A and B are shown apart, each in its own frame.
Chain A
Amino acid sequence: MHREEGLRTWQTEERGEAAELSLPDQLTSLMDRFEAPLYKFLMALVGSHDVAQDCTQDTFMRAYENLRKGKPVTAAWLYTVARNRAMDTFRRRKRERPDQAELERVPTSGGTDAVALRDAFAHLPPDDRTVLYLLAVEGLHPGEIATVLGINANAVRMRIFRARQRLKLAYGAWP
């Protein structure tokens, strides 16, 4: 998958090139690559523009600190930080479902089914939304998803299987 390859190659090739740049340039290269995916991921997770923006900025601030200290910055690490920030927001707001009103303003490529799918997706638990988005939309490897969630590979397979079953039940449109 192109997107998956793009995310992975950044870790090996583009990051190696970016390492020769200055810190601001490295951060610019990082944001060019991951700003949109992270923001959309956070939108799928929290369903709020403001929260997604703050969490995205916090994630890149942490990434800049890691670059300044010479620590590695990987795709899995970025999604981990972004997800943790989103979970912190959920805990502060005591809510684990995205803002339905904001989700309704999000355009979809499909018709009614797309809206139903969006609603069904929004009612999934945060971890289910995380694994399904990273797996289906971002194309992350289950091993990387395990890193984001902090679980092992076997557990993430079970998590993905159950998330798909729950989405199937929530959507209801699929036979």
Chain B
Amino acid sequence: MNHETFRHLLAVRDFLSPAEAARLEAHLEECAACREEAALYARQDLDLRSLTFPDPPPSVRSGVWGRLSRPASPPLWSPQHRRLVLAPAGLALLALAALLLGRPFEPAPSLHSAASASHAATARQAPLAGNKSFGPANGVPRGHRPRRPVSKPASPARRKSSPPASQALPSHPSPAVAQNLPLALPTSTPLAAAGVAIPSPPPARDQPARAAPRPTPQRAARLPTRGAAGRPPRPPRRGGFHPPTAGGPAPHPSSTAAPPVPTAAPPARPMPTPAPFVPPQVTPAPAVTPTPAPSPVPYPVAAAPQPPSPSPPTSPVPSPTSLPSPSPSLPTTPLPSATPPPTPTPATPGPWGGPGPSPTPNAGQHNAVR
């Protein structure tokens, strides 16, 4: 133990252990400097104790009791304060989250068209051998059902548009079908040529893919009525309507009941680009006339109206892009072929989306026509 260590022990001489105290005492007997420093430290302690400080006034204790008697506010970290502060904040956050999440998805038209285009492109790439590739009518992958926008801009042009009569009906749904867009082209031309009432695409197809309601008997019963009211009857959505096959589109079951109201598009017009599909503008006059003309000729028809027969179209339907393969529920053969389309299976989804075509009373009739 060196001299400096003994000096440190002198500073706390009254609080040393017995062993340390003995060693320090032995050193002090030998070191005069340390003895002087020990005396200095003793005088410092005495002088410091002489520093008298005033006693606390009574206000100190009374202030303590006064603060204890006051209702204390909970500290910020207390559970009570947390409940008071965080609960409303949490509720506000929950409300905000609910407001943001609860807002229906309304994609912009441009976005929707772009998305539809992408979906249509995807659908076109895969052969239409099964429902997987075809999937919903709008081309949206199965399971994905973007919500229908609130507004339903069922443009008159779309509703009344129809493909040119000269265009061959595709044996498979057009890309427009994949986009759940009005399928005026494949539905109108052969039937219009045949003088059969061509149901205009349902207005619902103008919107993004939405689960179309299953055609109920009541709904099916109502469908012809709509046509009788002056508008072309709406075909059943789920499996009830199929694009025309090579033999020509099957006449709508309600077409026999209602006079033909051709809504064919101008002839020899190429099929619009599926992405986005813009049906050709068609004058809707014949479609809205209350008394349908016996032989309305809004479009030049190459041949006289003929009974529906599986006659091949004069020219193939020009399509800018390859069309997806039809689903099993749709005719799988090209137009010139007269092979009847396969009967739609319940498990296969309809061309217009949804879980699958519900049994329609006229499905077989459609197939038979071809």
Contact = CB atoms under 8 A, between A and B. Distances in A.
Nearest to B47: A117
B44 A109 contact: no
Interface stretch (B49-57, B190-198, B260-268, B342-350): B49-57
A40 B47 CA distance: 16
A117 B64 contact: no
B12 A160 contact: yes
A100 to B, nearest CB: 14
A72 interface: no
A106 B64 contact: no
B54 A137 contact: no
Interface in A128-175: 132-133, 135-137, 141-142, 157-158, 160-161, 164, 167-168, 174-175
Interface string A33-55: 00110111001100001001100
Contacts of B8: 157-158, 161
A44 B51 contact: yes
Interface in B54-72: 54-57, 59-61, 63-64, 67-68
Interface residues of B, number: 31
Nearest to B63: A57
- Range for the number of chain A residues in contact with chain B: 35 or more
Contacts of A114: 47, 50-51
Nearest to A61: B67
A60 B64 contact: yes
B12 A167 contact: no
Contact of B57 (A31, A53, A108, A113): A53
B11 A157 contact: yes
Contacts of B43: 174
A141 to B, nearest CB: 6
Given A31-B61, A53-B56, A53-B57, A118 B51 contact: yes
Contact of B56 (A39, A108, A160): A39
B12 A157 contact: yes
A129 to B, nearest CB: 10
Given A61-B67, A157-B8, A109 B52 contact: yes
Contacts of A132: 44, 48
- Top 10 closest pairs, chain A to chain B, by CB: A39-B56, A40-B53, A161-B11, A136-B48, A136-B45, A109-B50, A43-B53, A160-B11, A57-B63, A60-B64
